[in-house]
Chains A and B, each alone.
Chain A
Amino acid sequence: MITQYFRWHYGPGFMELIYLSRNLFSFLAHFFSFKLLFFSLFSPWKKMGEHYKRGFDVESLISSFIVNSIMRVVGFFARSVVIISGLISSFALLVLSFSAYILWLLIPFVLVTLFASSFFLIYASVI
């Protein structure tokens, strides 16, 4: 059984770890809706804004333009914050994934070390 385990650990198990991180990356893309946010990056915040009135009224034209521009800027910032958070999370996941891969490969040795240390410490403190 132990042989079976090690064969799995360094074979299909490692591949599944890669599969898991791939799933998590696509989850982050879905969770932060990157595609949707990129396409609507400059849209007004919550689609709020003023309609341009008919006729040539400079004052209302400028007022609507300013309001709409502000809404777009707010929208851009809010979406940017989410996109950046998503990118940071993705980067963190990337780092974690690589760490996990390395840890996965080394875990048998880590376990041996942990066990050895634990026995040594328990023995030392009891004696």
Chain B
Amino acid sequence: MNFTTLHKNIEPYRNALFVDNVFPKKLRSVLRYFLIFLTAASFAASFIDLVNEKYNTLPDGLFFLFLSLFIILFLLECFYNSSRFSFSENIKVEFSVADIVEKIDEYDVTLSFLNSPITSTLLFRLGISKEEQARFMVGQRTKVPSSSFILPENAVDYSTLAHAIYFADKSFQTFLSGREVNESDYKGAVDWVNAEFNLSMEEDRWWGKESLQAIPSIGTSLSFGIMTELSKFGRSIRRDIFFHSIDIKNKFRNKEILQLENALLRASEANAIVVDNDEGVARDIVLRLDKKIYLGQVHPLLEHKNIIEFDWPLLVSLNKDKARLQEEMFKLLRECENTGNVILYIANLHSFILDCKNAGINIQSVMEECLASPGIHVIAHSTKTDFYYFMELFPGLGKLFERVVPEEETVLSSMPPILEKAKLLETESKGKIFFTYPALAEVAELSDKFVAYGEMPGKALHLMEEVFTWGMQNNLFSLSRNDVSSFISEKMGLGVGAVSTKEGEKLSRLEELLHERIVGQEEAVKAVSSAMRRSRAGIGNPKRPIATFLFLGPTGVGKTETAKALAESFFGPPAGGENKIIRFDMSEYNGADALPRLIGSFSEGKIGDLSAKLHDNPYGVVLLDEFEKAAPDVHNLFLRILDEGKFTDAFQGEVSARNVIFIATSNAGSDMIWNIVREGKDIAASKDAIVDSLVEQHILKPELINRFDGVVLFKPLETLELRSVADKIFEKFAKRLREEKQIEIKLSSELLDYLVLHGADKEFGARSINRIMQEKIEDYVARKILSKEVRAGQTLELGVRDVM
């Protein structure tokens, strides 16, 4: 369809468009209220005259005049609405499209599109100001004529038109991308604004069948039983603040809702259990089902049902007596049956049963007895691990539930609930603050990437609340993508979002920064610096850790120091620098209990070291010292972590390790490295031979080695390099002394040469320098301090003779 045909197809809307043009909607509305007031006032005056036996007065005349004007306006509104809502009956072109098409500029379609009220809302949601819009409209751009458009034959909605314009008008595309609005943002915002517009149209049409059917009936309560126990230990899930924001038209979780409906429609054992680690997911599905019931869009057998959330912690706390609790539970379940319209929602069913079991109460037998009855409908929730454990423990009870396992949501599929939540938060703020679509997309993306625990969309919704509160505190009117990334950078101490000039500069000279701490080891420094730049530029694989390295080399050559330097420069202040290192001595994880110690143990209820540390510190460097000494099970665990950037803990929870850099160090192959160096060969050229020897000796599996982004060889330090190490160690010591004891220390160059010459052991690298410095210098200074030969404010000068 072209624009000429489209123009003909908007005929039914023409009356409404004409009325809107000559007499704007807002003005009509104001005038209507004004006339109601004038009619009422003149009627009152006329009535007073009537009481005073005065007839045919001015108020009588005015009353008739205002009444007739009001009737005219009322009829005009009927005429307008009849035309405006005619789309549902006849044609498939939306009113918002008709509004644009009616005023179309044949030579510049984009201009007409941008001038429409709905597009103003769209640009606002994209974070584009009116000034920017105006500048674009009057600025130099290629005009796209209406003749260049081909639109779908059967239906044209606002989204279709907006997308067609986006693809046809390259200057519009450039304008948007200049404001960091990509195609996906644009598409999402268009669909969002369009859905909101259609919803407001539906709300305006209060006399429509759907709107009227959504009003709760008064007759239903008379047909169902009274709730005494349920009112004590339960509450309607409809009271949830999120309930009214749910838009079932977005079809979010439709599959799971349908599964629940089917389970509840069974002739007997009409119960379902939602198995998911996040209770929020189960609750969301139940809320959506309840919304469908509320709107009357369910199977007739489920109409008028009322979902009651069972407050079992209250029941358990109020009934310490075993028999009494069983009796209360029995009464409650029977009441569900008697009322005839109750669906009971039990969150964390496993905890309820296990709590009762621990208290010596056999609650599952009461439930087993009642839940088989056709009149009782229960929707329960359990976590994955607990569900299987509970199935094993109480197979009879498990069989009474139809299992619903919600699908994992992606960043894109999480957008509908995020948009619903945005609406709720905006309403709560009473229009003080708004989200732009790119900000919401950023929330979804960054929460998926940086929040280690939890599932989508739950973690995005949680992050949204935090961003919203932050925005309110900072008196922001609209939250943009940059606001979201600034908040996350501030909160997590991570560089996210656009790279600032300062950060870019720091990244480009990362090698230099690392060399402030690391001596030599060019290959290692280069490899980690490149990986960091790739990650920050956003071209790294988001489904894997930031970077993974296997550092091979003899002791004391800077493997651990590189990890520390990296933590300091990449996760540097305010993130906490070196504190961002999670260090594991993998030689401790070589027993039979190694894996449970890392990922936790369900039977013992213990959280694993790795899970806990990643939970507390999801961004940083994980240093795996002496990696080769870990148990084979642990190596297998790391096969998955290095590949997917996540693992499943003992509680079936997914732990993300995508925001960390893994550095595994190993001394394995040191002998070979030494031999290569002694022979004067280049160790970089012998990397394959070294790696092969590790595989041949069954130290590390080839598939594990291949999972690392890079295997970095650390060569033994030469005398000159050891001299630099000595310098650095001394500088650190001098700094410490200056800061803590206010004592200045100066070392002659000869002394450092002497120490390196006599104390350095190439086999132990920097460690030997450290040791000799402690033995000779630190010990000497300690004696001087203790004998009070040197005090605060003094300078201590050391030469070779002093330490000989």
Expressed in whole angstroms, the minimum distance between the Cβ of B420 and any Cβ of chain A is 26
Scan residues 231-261 of chain B and give those whose CB is less than 8 A from a CB of chain A. none
What 9 pairs between A and B have smallest CB-CB spacing?
A33-B219, A121-B61, A47-B225, A118-B64, A122-B61, A46-B226, A118-B65, A27-B212, A125-B58
B75 CB within 8 Å of chain A: yes
Residues from chain A with Cβ under 8 Å of B67 in the complex: 114
A residues with CB within 8 A of B: 1, 4-5, 8-9, 12-13, 16, 20, 23-24, 26-27, 30-34, 36-37, 39-40, 43, 46-48, 75, 78-79, 82, 86, 107, 110-111, 114-115, 117-126
The closest CB in chain A to the CB of B339 belongs to: A47
Instruction: Pick the contact of A121: B64, B78, B208, B213 (CB < 8 A).
Output: B64
Residues from chain B with Cβ under 8 Å of A120 in the complex: 61
Q: Are A126 and B64 in contact (CB under 8 A)?
A: no
8 contacts between A and B (CB under 8 A): A26-B209, A31-B218, A48-B226, A79-B222, A119-B65, A122-B61, A122-B65, A125-B58
Are A37 and B68 CB-contacts (below 8 A) given A1-B18, A9-B75, A23-B212? no
B residues with CB within 8 A of A: 15, 18, 56-58, 60-65, 67-68, 71-72, 75, 78-79, 82-83, 207-209, 212-213, 215, 217-220, 222-226, 296, 304, 338-340
Q: Are A37 and B219 in contact (CB under 8 A)?
A: yes
The closest CB in chain A to the CB of B226 belongs to: A46
Q: How many A-B residue pairs have CB under 8 A?
A: 125
Q: Are A119 and B61 in contact (CB under 8 A)?
A: yes
Q: Are A13 and B304 in contact (CB under 8 A)?
A: no
Residues from chain B with Cβ under 8 Å of A12 in the complex: 82
Expressed in whole angstroms, the minimum distance between the Cβ of B686 and any Cβ of chain A is 83
Residues from chain B with Cβ under 8 Å of A34 in the complex: 219
Bound Cα distance A78, B223 (Å): 10
Q: Are B223 and A37 in contact (CB under 8 A)?
A: yes
Are A8 and B79 CB-contacts (below 8 A) given A33-B217, A119-B61, A120-B61? yes
Instruction: Pick the contact of A47: B58, B65, B226, B304 (CB < 8 A).
Output: B226
The closest CB in chain B to the CB of A79 belongs to: B222
Q: Are A118 and B78 in contact (CB under 8 A)?
A: no
Instruction: Pick the contact of A82: B64, B75, B222 (CB < 8 A).
Output: B222
Residues from chain A with Cβ under 8 Å of B226 in the complex: 46-48
Q: Are A5 and B79 in contact (CB under 8 A)?
A: yes
Expressed in whole angstroms, the minimum distance between the Cβ of B67 and any Cβ of chain A is 6
Instruction: Pick the contact of B65: A4, A8, A20, A115 (CB < 8 A).
Output: A115
Q: Are A118 and B72 in contact (CB under 8 A)?
A: no
Q: Are B212 and A30 in contact (CB under 8 A)?
A: yes
The closest CB in chain B to the CB of A86 belongs to: B219
Other than the known A26-B213, A82-B222, A114-B65, what 5 A-B pairs have Cβ atoms closer than 8 Å? A24-B207, A32-B219, A46-B226, A47-B339, A121-B57
Q: Are A31 and B71 in contact (CB under 8 A)?
A: no
Bound Cα distance A75, B222 (Å): 8
The closest CB in chain A to the CB of B12 belongs to: A12
Q: Are A107 and B75 in contact (CB under 8 A)?
A: yes
Bound Cα distance A49, B23 (Å): 63
Q: Are B209 and A118 in contact (CB under 8 A)?
A: no
Bound Cα distance A20, B78 (Å): 12
Q: Are B213 and A30 in contact (CB under 8 A)?
A: yes
Q: Are B217 and A30 in contact (CB under 8 A)?
A: yes
Residues from chain A with Cβ under 8 Å of B213 in the complex: 26-27, 30
